Amino acid sequence: MRITHHKSSDVAVVIAFVLLGVLGCMESDSPKDSRNGARLDDPESSDQVIGDLEASSDEISSVVDAIFRSINEGKAETLYETATAPKFREVASLNAFKSICERVQSRLGTLLSKQSSRLDLNPMADGIVASASFQAQFEHGAGTIFVVLEKQGDEWLLLRLNVNAPELLDDPTQFRKMVELFVEDSDPVLPGSSVDILDTAFKPPKAIAESVSVVNVRWKVTDPSSQPQFPARGFVTIGLTKDQAIAVKGVQTLSVRRHVENTSQPDDLP
């Protein structure tokens, strides 16, 4: 089961640095709460779900504040060692993390304020995984923060961190909007994958955008413990240029497939 708190349906940002963990969110089609077997259409269960959501929202907001306070104070190493999950450290070295933190600190400065735009809670067998997005105002500009956190006991640990702001990019032509798309008949890709966006209304499917990067996924599954399989359906967040975002807007027959480089060589001339 996925619990969602969504305050804004239009989040347009510039993708700058993405630090990827090995995680994709799975969304069960079942109305049952996998934590306690309660049905979501039961009023008492719904009240409990809402209470859990509000409490988690406050906790996660405080964790994000603490993360950026540590970044601004130059405590990236301590943050890496004490506030990141083991899965995070498997894919991101300390040096890479320190480099990103230093860039955020020098180019954006202090986090002055933020407003939650989305929160997804995903109950797992050994805890809860939360995905949260915030519209943020920094000392030197505005941007967006996206985090994935894993709750272990009473502690939230960082799985992914994505900071998006124009000031972080050296080349303005690389600006991207973070666009969430509903897709069907798709490869069950994970964050960090390079994909092509297709319109399956055409035969063969027509490519709308090629070799674009996946930022987040929420695949629909029949059971919380199952893994998505092809043909997968669900929500995929992708960084798109302005023209690409316009091209996919309103298309109801979208699909994503893993991008495959064309390595074929032309035939030799006679």
Q: Is residue 11's pLDDT more than 60?
A: no
- Tell me the average pLDDT across 11-22: 31
Q: Is residue 8's pLDDT more than 90?
A: no
Say what the pLDDT of residue 172 is: 59
Higher pLDDT, residue 126 or 61: 61
Say what the pLDDT of residue 216 is: 83
3-class SS at 86?
helix
Q: Is residue 27's pLDDT more than 90?
A: no
Q: Is residue 7's pLDDT more than 70?
A: no
Check if the beta carbon of residue 210 is closer than 8 Å to that of residue 196: yes
Q: For 52-76, write each residue's pLDDT tens digit.
A: 556 678 899 999 999 999 999 999 9
- Please name the amino acid found at residue 130: A
Say what the pLDDT of residue 184 is: 95
HEC profile for 127-138? Answer: EEEEEEEEEEEE
Q: Is residue 258's pLDDT more than 90?
A: yes
Q: For 163-216, write each residue's pLDDT tens digit.
A: 888 888 877 567 677 788 999 999 999 988 999 999 999 999 999 999 999 988
Say what the pLDDT of residue 62 is: 94
Please, which residues bridge with residue 189 across strands? none
* Distance, CA of 218 to CA of 28 (rounded, Å): 10
* Distance, CA of 60 to CA of 118 (rounded, Å): 12
**218 — pLDDT class (breaks 50, 70, 90):** confident
- Tell me the average pLDDT across 110-136: 86
**264 — pLDDT class (breaks 50, 70, 90):** low
pTM for the model stands at 0.61
- Tell me the average pLDDT across 233-245: 89
Check if the beta carbon of residue 94 is closer than 8 Å to that of residue 80: yes
